[in-house]
């Protein structure tokens, strides 16, 4: 930088000597020369001032960018529940510090996106099973895509535990439905009644001949199956009583 400054000084000196030579030739007065030199000095100062202001603003933007990056890092660590690596005082120029933090930011952003996808996936499965159990399918999917403020592995494990509990309840209900359907089938066979007609009156999804439709497992279906079994058992008892009185 010293050599460059020396070149600038040499150039400025050469120009000033040329200007003085012109003034000598023209015959400018000392007062006029002083006036023009003062004006030249003020113009130079104004150029320097603008450059200093521009450099100052650029430095402020870099300070802000670094502060924003550090704040985002802290937030990502908090949301993901990760332990930040040992914080070290960053060294180097502002541009070097901003460049150094960028790769870690990109890595954590990608990790957050992937973690959020996992949350949406497990919550979607949870809501689907809740809908099957309640008999009211979930139609509001917007809430499922809302990014949780807590994306820690601990919270994800809690969702997976809830999903496992619901899956077990779903399986238990399905087994209960199948057990009831088998009882209905046996009673219809004994009574000579149309099994498919009987079962579809309870719920059309219980008819296996309709294809791969999911069987209804909600409380209403279980209650209606139990009621149907009760009616068929009563019919069986009445027929046995009639047969025994003949």
Within this chain, do residues 26 and 82 fall inside the same structural domain, yes or no?
yes
Whether 73 maps to a domain, the answer reads yes
Whether 143 maps to a domain, the answer reads no
pLDDT band at residue 136 under the 50/70/90 scheme:
confident
pTM, 2 dp: 0.75
Within this chain, do residues 48 and 106 fall inside the same structural domain, yes or no?
yes
Question: Over 60: is that where the pLDDT of 100 sits?
Answer: yes
pLDDT band at residue 146 under the 50/70/90 scheme:
confident
Whether 78 maps to a domain, the answer reads yes
Q: Look at residues 111, 135, 165 and tell me which one is the last residue of a structural domain.
A: 111
Within this chain, do residues 101 and 187 fall inside the same structural domain, yes or no?
no
Measured CA to CA, the distance from residue 223 to residue 182 in angstroms comes to 15
Whether 132 maps to a domain, the answer reads no
Domain region containing 157 = 153-246
Within this chain, do residues 238 and 162 fall inside the same structural domain, yes or no?
yes
Q: What is the pLDDT of residues 204-227, one digit of tens each?
A: 888 876 665 688 999 999 999 999
Angle between helices 94-134 and 153-191 (to 10 degrees): 20
Q: What is the pLDDT of residues 150-159, one digit of tens each?
A: 999 999 999 9
Counted domains in the chain: 2
């Amino acid at each position: 930088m010293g050599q460059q400054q020396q070149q600038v000084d040499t150039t400025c000196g050469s120009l000033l000597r040329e200007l003085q030579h012109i003034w000598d030739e023209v015959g400018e007065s000392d007062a006029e020369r002083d006036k023009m030199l003062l004006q030249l000095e003020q113009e130079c100062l104004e150029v320097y001032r603008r450059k200093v202001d521009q450099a100052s603003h650029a430095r402020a933007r870099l300070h802000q960018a670094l502060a924003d990056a550090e704040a985002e890092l802290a937030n990502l660590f908090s949301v993901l529940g990760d332990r930040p690596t040992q914080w070290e005082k960053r060294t180097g120029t502002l541009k070097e510090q901003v460049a150094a933090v960028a790769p870690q930011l990109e890595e954590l952003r990608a990790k957050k996106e992937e973690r959020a996808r996992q949350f949406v996936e497990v919550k979607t499965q949870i809501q689907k099973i809740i809908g099957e159990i309640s008999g009211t399918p979930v139609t509001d999917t917007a809430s499922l895509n809302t990014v949780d403020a807590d994306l820690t592995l601990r919270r994800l494990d809690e969702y997976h535990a809830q999903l496992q509990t619901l899956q077990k309840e779903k399986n238990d209900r399905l087994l209960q439905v199948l057990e009831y359907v088998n009882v209905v089938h046996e009673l219809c066979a004994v009574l000579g009644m149309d099994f498919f007609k009987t079962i579809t009156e309870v719920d059309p999804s219980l008819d296996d001949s309709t294809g791969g439709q999911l069987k209804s497992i909600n409380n209403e279906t279980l209650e209606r199956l139990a009621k149907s079994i009760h009616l068929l058992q009563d019919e069986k008892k009445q027929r046995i009583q009639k047969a025994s009185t003949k």
